[in-house]
């Protein structure tokens, strides 16, 4: 009987986010008779316990700070557990994980969940790009979560075309439907009236998400739409600043902060529109989930969003960092009596292009090829 392929998943965080969620889904759905998955990451979020609840080996790494200790711990894990494929997510794990795998002759797979380096000073940008190009030489496969992200990475020469595989993030629509049918969050419990026009955003409060742009567009619309409300689900480093902006703009009674929700998808039935204002994305799970729940989307025309939203069919795309264009698009969609048609089209698109099983099958094939490369 063939022994399962032992895969080490290295995470930069176990907090709510696309990377941990994708790994969680992989752990749940990869065939256990073929793959034995070990997960390692900091104990800084709810996914740490979720992985433990699945019965997989969950190992704690030091939080945030990157140093030689991470490298030595990863080397020890690979040796002790007989790891045959290392799969890294995020910049830190992408560095020490791929170095450790190369040192021990184990194939490494790296997933880009967005290519984020624009906030670095110019020397830092050059250093990041040079380092990623070097690390690509130590990688068996680079997984890109969207075609536009792959195009950006190839343009930056971060990897070779022969290394790259596009595997979009997938969601389980049947599971989403069960969740919405049994435990969706009622508007009344959020302080919303049945006839309110509700915009929503599920996001980590991070500068790249450009939540300020959403607030500026909302302020413009609130002047002429007294029933308009905004639901912000999430939290993070920018939360204090975002809350202060809401107060300064005089929007305190019309913007509702829920904090992090363990199953944020429960809010989608309360929304009229989902709005995403990021400057860049890999492939945004929250947008995919909103579309899967039948909610029309207004999003910025950036990599990741343009891979998901079809303008005029499942929602609208607007230029990034343009609150006027964003406000106009939201107003146009709210005034469209056929906007639910876009929501239905979005759900069909998710079923066709972003379902769970293709993500699982294509990732499994990456692991098989990586393992086979060391047994020839």
The domain tally of the chain equals 2
Helix (H, G, I), strand (E, B) or coil at 277: coil
**The two structure tokens encoding residue 307:** 């891979």
Judged by average pLDDT, the poorest of 51-60, 63-72, 123-132, 229-238 is: 63-72
**pLDDT for the residue 8:** 98
**pLDDT for the residue 338:** 84
Task: Please answer whether residues 142 and 228 qualify as being in contact, where contact means their C-beta atoms are separated by less than 8 angstroms.
Answer: no
Q: Residues 6 or more apart from 122 whose CB is under 8 A from it?
A: none
Q: Which residue has the higher pLDDT, 80 or 337?
A: 80
Q: Which of 190, 196, 174 is nearest to 233 (CA)?
A: 190
Same domain for 130 and 202: no
Quick one: average pLDDT of 43-62?
Answer: 94
**pLDDT for the residue 1:** 54
Cα separations in angstroms, 227 against 56, 72, 328, 337: 47, 56, 17, 17
Output the domain CATH number for residue 126. 3.40.50.2000
Same domain for 294 and 205: yes
Quick one: average pLDDT of 160-171?
Answer: 96
Task: Please answer whether residues 265 and 179 qualify as being in contact, where contact means their C-beta atoms are separated by less than 8 angstroms.
Answer: yes
**pLDDT for the residue 65:** 66
What are the tens digits of pLDDT across the range 72-126? 999 999 999 999 999 999 999 999 999 999 999 999 999 999 999 988 999 999 9
Same domain for 365 and 240: no
Same domain for 329 and 266: yes
Is 262 a residue whose pLDDT tops 90? no
Same domain for 251 and 106: no
Quick one: average pLDDT of 324-346?
Answer: 94
Confidence of residue 307 (pLDDT cuts 50, 70, 90): very high
Task: Please answer whether residues 166 and 147 qualify as being in contact, where contact means their C-beta atoms are separated by less than 8 angstroms.
Answer: yes
**The two structure tokens encoding residue 10:** 């290295």
How far apart CA 322 and CA 209 sit, in angstroms, is: 13
Is 4 a residue whose pLDDT tops 70? yes
Same domain for 153 and 10: yes
Same domain for 340 and 193: yes
Q: Which structural domain range is residue 130 located in?
A: 5-170+355-372
**pLDDT for the residue 337:** 85
**DSSP secondary-structure letter at 39?**
E
**pLDDT for the residue 142:** 98
| CB count in 10 Å sphere of residue 49 | 12
Is 331 a residue whose pLDDT tops 90? yes
Is 376 a residue whose pLDDT tops 80? no
**pLDDT for the residue 76:** 97
Same domain for 230 and 187: yes
Cα separations in angstroms, 149 against 87, 215, 284, 306, 359: 19, 27, 12, 10, 16
**Using CA of residue 374, residue 42, residue 116, residue 27, what is the dihedral sign?**
positive
Same domain for 188 and 77: no
For the chain, the average pLDDT equals: 94
Q: How many CA atoms lie within 13 A of 330 on its CB side?
A: 34
Percent of the residues in the chain that have a pLDDT greater than 90, as a whole number: 87
How far apart CA 132 and CA 142 sit, in angstroms, is: 11
Quick one: average pLDDT of 6-25?
Answer: 93
Quick one: average pLDDT of 201-209?
Answer: 92
**pLDDT for the residue 67:** 75
Q: Which of 102, 121, 122 is nearest to 110 (CA)?
A: 102
State how beta strands 85-89 and 57-60 pair: unpaired
Whole-number CA gyration radius for the chain: 21
Judged by average pLDDT, the poorest of 10-19, 52-61, 73-82, 226-235 is: 10-19
Q: Which of 340, 320, 319, 339 is nearest to 331 (CA)?
A: 339
How far apart CA 374 and CA 347 sit, in angstroms, is: 41
Same domain for 199 and 157: no
Q: Which of 341, 322, 225, 234 is nearest to 284 (CA)?
A: 234
Same domain for 332 and 206: yes
Q: Residues 6 or more apart from 247 whose CB is under 8 A from it?
A: none
Quick one: average pLDDT of 280-296?
Answer: 94
Same domain for 193 and 297: yes
């Amino acid at each position: 009987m063939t022994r399962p392929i032992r895969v080490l998943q290295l995470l930069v965080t176990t907090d709510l986010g696309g990377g941990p969620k994708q790994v969680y889904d992989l752990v749940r759905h990869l065939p256990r008779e073929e793959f034995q998955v070990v997960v390692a990451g900091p104990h800084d979020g709810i996914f740490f316990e979720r992985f433990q609840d699945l019965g997989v080996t969950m190992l704690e790494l030091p939080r945030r700070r990157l140093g030689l200790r991470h490298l030595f711990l990863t080397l020890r894990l690979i040796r002790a557990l007989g790891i045959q494929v290392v799969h890294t997510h995020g910049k830190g794990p992408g560095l020490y994980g791929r170095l450790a795998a190369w040192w021990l002759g184990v194939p490494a797979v790296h997933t880009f969940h967005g290519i984020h380096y624009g906030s670095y000073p110019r020397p830092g940008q050059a250093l990041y790009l040079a380092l990623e190009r070097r690390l690509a030489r130590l990688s068996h496969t680079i997984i890109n979560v969207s075609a536009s992200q792959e195009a950006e990475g190839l343009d930056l020469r971060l990897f070779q075309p022969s290394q790259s595989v596009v595997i979009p993030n997938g969601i389980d629509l049947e599971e989403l439907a069960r969740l919405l049918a049994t435990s969706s969050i009622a508007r009344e419990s959020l302080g919303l009236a049945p006839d309110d026009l509700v915009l929503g955003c599920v996001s980590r409060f991070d500068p790249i998400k450009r939540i300020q742009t959403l607030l500026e567009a909302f302020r413009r619309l609130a002047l002429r739409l007294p029933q308009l409300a905004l639901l912000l689900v999430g939290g993070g480093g920018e939360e204090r600043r975002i809350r202060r902006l809401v107060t300064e703009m005089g929007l305190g009674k019309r913007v509702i902060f829920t904090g992090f929700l363990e199953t944020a998808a429960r809010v989608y039935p309360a929304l009229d529109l989902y709005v995403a204002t990021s400057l860049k994305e890999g492939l945004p799970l929250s947008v995919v989930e909103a579309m899967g729940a039948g909610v029309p989307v207004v999003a910025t025309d950036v990599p990741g969003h343009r891979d998901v939203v079809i303008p005029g069919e499942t929602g609208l795309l607007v230029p990034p960092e343009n609150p006027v264009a964003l406000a106009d698009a939201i107003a146009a969609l709210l005034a469209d009596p056929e906007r639910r048609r876009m929501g239905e089209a979005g759900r069909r698109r998710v079923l066709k292009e972003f379902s769970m099983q293709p993500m699982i099958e294509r990732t499994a094939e990456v692991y098989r090829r990586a393992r086979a490369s060391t047994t020839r």
